[in-house]
Structure 1
Amino acid sequence: MFHIRGRMNEIYKTLREINSQLKIAGYVADVTSELHNLGAEDKGLIPSYHSETWAIAFGVLSTTPGTPIRVAKNLRICVDCHNFAMALSGVYNREVIIRDRTRFHHFREGRCSCNGY
């Protein structure tokens, strides 16, 4: 078990670095479901950092390269977090397993076991 107490700034920095690497690889955040009261141009300025992206960043920060990252949540994963995990699995060569409300998502080499379901 890992503890994040006092490491939020470090995790946030890692998350920003991950986003930079993913953007270089072609990842574009899907903000269509974010902040419904903002215009499209404003949504692009605010990064979407849901709990699973924080958990994945913490996993990248706290484990050795190549170690699978496992995340469990009680809500369905959003499209952007799904795309984020898929891109990260390819760029960082990490297996990411996310258990959401309806299924397990196994991300490997930039693909997901759900095939976009």
Structure 2
Amino acid sequence: MLKNEPQWGYWCECWTEDLAEGGAPELRASFDAHSAPQADRWVAVALRTISPALDADASDEAWEWLYEGRAETRRALLRMQPCTVSVTHASTRITWTIRPVVFLPLAHQQGIELPACAYDFKPRNIH
């Protein structure tokens, strides 16, 4: 039984990429924001938190977005456009992505028997 109707929101991710090694980007964190301010605040808090550890150029990139780019990001999000914020520290690129999405409500599972197909899933041990 659905608890709510689908709701617009934003799916936020933080990726890192080692530019020296040329490997694939790695997902570091994700967040479901329910408003544009909540989405850009997630990026802002992350940038403020890591900025003291960044090299001078990356710190400048971070603070430039915080002071100049954040307002444009918020306007784009309010127009339901995806946004990307990146800084490059040494050989690591850190990228935050924010995409508008529709969150689908899920059935409440407490005290409810799961459908039979739920028991067919067998997690694989990947080591």
TM-score higher than 0.5: no
Higher relative contact order (CA 8 A, sep 6+): 2
Q: Structure 1 length normalisation: TM-score?
A: 0.27
Which of these two proteins has the greater Rg computed from alpha carbons?
2
What TM-score do you get using the length of structure 2 for normalisation?
A: 0.25
